[in-house]
Amino acid sequence: MSAAKPDLVALRDLKVAFDGVQVLHGIDLNVAKGEALGLVGESGCGKSVTWLAALGLLPGKAAVTGSVRVDGRELCGARRAALEEVRGGRIAMIFQDPSSSLNPVLRIGRQIVEALYIHRGLRGDAARVEALRLMDMVGIPDAARRFDLYPHEFSGGQCQRLMIAMALAGQPDLLIADEPTTALDATIQAQILDLLNTLRAETGMALVFISHDLGAVSQVCERVCVMYAGRIVEEGSVAQLFSEPRHPYTRGLFDAIPRIDGPRDRLIPIPGTVPNPKHLPAGCSFSPRCPRAVDACGSDYPHLEPQGDGRRLACTRPVPVVTRGDAERRIPEGLMS
């Protein structure tokens, strides 16, 4: 799917286990230079762990295997120095937990200047000028005056912007934004999404956008990966997955979100809960919750296979292709060609 652009990151058979419990079951995923990829799925499906593992940021008790290549260079099992060169430099991550990113007892300007020194060797006036430019770029008003303030003197949305500024300090080729807007109100969320789009257009960086919010994903991403219980179950373009979700789980995610442009249908939550990684069901992990499951789904594990239309799908009983009329109702405004 990303054949047109060269791959920046390639994950192959990436597996993670904590204390002998497997939580990631072999992720194969490419991110092309400059593209925006969304990663969605219910809580606990492995979205954060995928990228924390890729960047070597999981605690020592995590057993990580597989391959993580950045521009062809293997990172899995690489030495610390090689990982540190990539982290923050080639790839920056905005963490799901904001408190882990901004230091509450350091003035904001100093934090950005420090990141500029680590990643680009900038010091003194040059670092200050660049820090102010970054604060300005992410839309912090009156940056010069606010340079010496502490994180608690900024609003939640502004802290999010400052975290993006810190992430941009290393001029990354890829920004991984883990739930960057979840804690924000709708207006600020829309502003952050706009900001991410603008920054991508200005810098040409690629983006991995991790979110529960399919609407947000459709506003910033070109391609979406849907994860369930530590595996990718469907991957395709945003337009493809919105118009024709084929995996019953993807379909379920769409049925569970309100649509402002569609008829006032009842929302249908996916019945049941995400399985505990310790006790995964046999066969397809989604089969106990799947409305289309047959007996065989409980015994055979479906592999993620490329489909004729360019998507990848792990399901032996996919949702039948919908008619054009239904498809049009599902595609959010702006994605219709």
Ligand X SMILES: Nc1ncnc2c1ncn2[C@@H]1O[C@H](COP(=O)(O)OP(=O)(O)OP(=O)(O)O)[C@@H](O)[C@H]1O
Rounded CA-CA distance 140/15 in Å is 39
Task: Return the residue of 1, 12, 17, 18 that touches ligand X, per CB under 6 A.
Answer: 18
Residue 179 CB partners (closer than 8 Å, separation 6+): 96, 210, 211, 212
Token duo for residue 264: 């006032």
Separation CA 171–CA 133 (nearest Å):
13
Coil vs helix vs strand at 144 = helix
* 177 and 208 Cβ atoms separated by less than 8 Å: yes
Q: How far is CA 62 from CA 86, 158, 216, in A?
A: 20, 33, 31
- How many Å from the N-terminal Cα to the C-terminal Cα in the chain? 19
To ligand X, the closest distance from the beta carbon of 328 in angstroms equals: 30
23 interacts with ligand X by CB under 6 A? yes
| 285 is an interface residue for Mg ion by CB under 5 A | no
| 48 is a contact residue toward Mg ion (CB under 5 A) | yes
Size of the site for ligand X (CB under 6 A): 13
Size, binding site for Mg ion by CB under 5 A: 2
What residues are paired with 176 via a beta bridge? 93, 208
Nearest approach, Cβ of residue 177 and ligand X (Å): 13
96 binds ligand X (CB under 6 A): yes
Decide whether 41 or 56 has the Cβ nearer to Mg ion: 41
- Nearest CA-CA partner of 226 in 45, 39, 44, 46: 39
Distance CA 9, CA 69 (A): 6
43 belongs to the binding site for ligand X (CB under 6 A):
yes
Residue 181 touches Mg ion, criterion: CB under 5 A? no
Quote the CA–CA distance of 95 and 180 in Å, as a whole number.
8
Taking the least distance from each CB to ligand X, the nearer of 21 and 296 is 21
Q: Coil, strand or helix: which one is 97?
A: coil
Identity of the residue, 230 or 302, whose beta carbon is nearer to ligand X in the bound complex: 230
Question: Which residues from 171-230 bind ligand X, rule CB under 6 A?
Answer: none
Residues between 126 and 165 with contacts to ligand X, criterion CB under 6 A: none
Select the residue interacting with ligand X from 11, 40, 49, 131 (CB under 6 A): 49
Rule CB under 5 A: say whether 211 interacts with Mg ion: no
- Between CA 95 and CA 291 the distance in angstroms is 35
Q: If binding is defined by CB under 5 A, does position 250 make contact with Mg ion?
A: no
**Among residues 157, 172, 252, 277, which is the contact residue for ligand X, using CB under 6 A?**
277
E strand or H helix at 326, and its extent?
helix 324-330
Which residues inside 87-126 make contact with Mg ion, applying CB under 5 A?
96
Q: 208 contacts which partner out of Mg ion, ligand X, none, CB within 5 to 8 A by kind?
A: none
Should residue 318 be labelled a site residue for ligand X when binding is judged by CB under 6 A?
no
HSE-up (13 A, CA, CB side) for residue 212: 10
**Contact range with ligand X by CB under 6 A, out of 40-48, 163-171, 252-260, 309-317:** 40-48
Of 330, 56, 93, 324, nearest in space to 207 by CA: 93
Task: Pick the closer one to ligand X by CB: 101 or 111.
Answer: 101
- 46 lies in the site for ligand X, by CB under 6 A: yes
Answer yes or no whether residue 323 interacts with ligand X by CB under 6 A: no
Give the residues lining the site for ligand X (CB under 6 A): 18, 23, 41, 43-49, 59, 96, 277
Q: Provide the binding-site residues for Mg ion, judged by CB under 5 A.
A: 48, 96
